[in-house]
Structure 1
């Protein structure tokens, strides 16, 4: 698979989680990419769902960085 196709796949995975109401909670970066932890808070019982994606392409890392910045400015 080309790197561009890999980026498209990772971007789509991020977009699907965002459409389901998840928000970026935590990011751990290392030499093999970034592990992005998403959280969806459930209002009625206080529990939350968590999902983690392993992002490897530089373009997808830039993509989630922009999303994270937007989330922080929306909360402020």
Structure 2
């Protein structure tokens, strides 16, 4: 599988969890990629995704920035 196809798979998994209402809760970075923990605010269910591509890391980082900006604006 090409790196771009791998990125598309990772992006679709992230989008699926975000659409279901999950929020990024924790990120563990290592040489094998990133392990992104998602948590659902209603039932506290957790999911973990392994993101190994550079574009996948950039993608979830942009979602995290948006998530944090939105929560900051709500708290004001």
- TM-score where L is the length of structure 2: 0.93
1:28 positional shift: 0.3
Deviation by residue 1:38-66 (Cα, 9 ceiling, x = unmatched): 00021xxxx40000000000000000000
Report the count of equivalent residues: 72
Would you tell me which structure has more helix in proportion to its own residues? 2
1:57 aligns with 2:53: yes
Shift of 1:5: 0.2
Q: Which runs of 5+ in 1 are unaligned?
A: none
Show the counterpart of 1:30. 30
Superposed CA RMSD: 0.6
Match of 1:74 in 2: 70
